[in-house]
Chains A and B, each alone.
Chain A
Amino acid sequence: EAGVTQSPTHLIKTRGQQATLRCSPISGHTSVYWYQQALGLGLQFLLWYDEGEERNRGNFPPRFSGRQFPNYSSELNVNALELEDSALYLCASNILGGVTEAFFGQGTRLTVV
């Protein structure tokens, strides 16, 4: 069974540009979570989607947005990139209704230059 997959693995963008990161959850999982792991800041919760709806949002500016598609895959968009957006972005999936462990993907390393 395939795990959580994220693409691309690495992404280099220029300040001011937009970045789009993608995540495919484990088959049967309806919830997708996004986390940012920036150097020195640890793992910070960004967004939670389930059944196509945004269920919760972390303390990030509106230029961080996303969506979840009918097949439960998800996209994270970061607009007007700033240098401090450089980080590893991790996606996790899990089923709704049970507090199970979340399974994480390998991450997308975003570098803003």
Chain B
Amino acid sequence: AQKVTQAQTEISVVEKEDVTLDCVYETRDTTYYLFWYKQPPSGELVFLIRRNSFDEQNEISGRYSWNFQKSTSSFNFTITASQVVDSAVYFCALSEIGYGGATNKLIFGTGTLLAVQP
């Protein structure tokens, strides 16, 4: 069965600290996609990144970076020099491929609440 585990329920850091959010996934598919979404208090899920199972290159986007390691089935997310505006719930998700080769559904982890204190 497919599963996403975010073991960190809540993390609290002080502004400017670096923080890493962990994500471990399980799947028997050879082709799959992994995502990170941010959910601020407003509720809308904001897409951050998509990574396919054949691309293990790490990615950096400004203060955000992602480390994908198939050997450990992990897709961790690091925020460098955190800011108060980074405070949100962060979800890691795994896509299940279905009809037409499209995303059948997203399987979400339980989320990590990040609180950045000023």
| A and B co-occur in one complex | yes
Q: Measured between alpha carbons, how far is A88 from B52 in the docked complex, in Å?
A: 28
Which residues of chain B have C-beta atoms less than 8 A from A95's C-beta? Answer: 102
Which residues of chain A have C-beta atoms less than 8 A from B105's C-beta? Answer: 33, 45, 48, 56, 58
User: Chain B, interface size: which category?
Assistant: 20 to 34
In the complex, what's the smallest C-beta–C-beta distance from B25 to chain A, in angstroms?
A: 15
Which residues of chain B have C-beta atoms less than 8 A from A96's C-beta? Answer: 100, 102
For the complex, count residues of A whose C-beta is within 8 A of B. 29
Chain B's closest residue to A104 (CB) is B45
Is the CB–CB distance between B44 and A105 below 8 Å? yes
Which residues of chain B have C-beta atoms less than 8 A from A109's C-beta? Answer: 43
Q: Does A101 sit within 8 A of B, measured CB to CB? A: yes
- Contact partner of B106 (CB less than 8 A), chosen from A55, A88, A102, A107, is A102
Q: Measured between alpha carbons, how far is A109 from B42 in the docked complex, in Å?
A: 11
Q: Measured between alpha carbons, how far is A107 from B35 in the docked complex, in Å?
A: 19
Chain B's closest residue to A55 (CB) is B99
Is the CB–CB distance between B111 and A99 below 8 Å? no
Is the CB–CB distance between A100 and B109 below 8 Å? no
A interface: dominant SS: strand
Is the CB–CB distance between A99 and B109 below 8 Å? no
Q: Measured between alpha carbons, how far is A95 from B102 in the docked complex, in Å?
A: 8
Given contacts A42-B110, A43-B91, A50-B100, A100 and B50 within 8 Å (CB-CB): yes
In the complex, what's the smallest C-beta–C-beta distance from A86 to chain B, in angstroms?
A: 14
Q: Does B62 sit within 8 A of A, measured CB to CB? A: no
Q: Measured between alpha carbons, how far is A42 from B110 in the docked complex, in Å?
A: 5
A-B pairs with lowest CB-CB distance, top 9: A104-B45, A45-B105, A43-B108, A106-B44, A101-B47, A107-B43, A42-B110, A55-B99, A101-B50
Q: Known A-B contacts: A99-B33, A101-B47. Give 8 more (CB < 8 A).
A: A42-B111, A43-B108, A56-B105, A58-B105, A97-B100, A97-B101, A99-B95, A103-B47
Measured CB to CB, the residues of B under 8 A from A are 33, 35, 37, 42-47, 50, 52, 91, 93, 95, 97-111
10 cross-chain CB contacts under 8 A = A31-B102, A48-B104, A55-B98, A56-B98, A58-B105, A95-B102, A97-B100, A101-B35, A102-B106, A106-B42
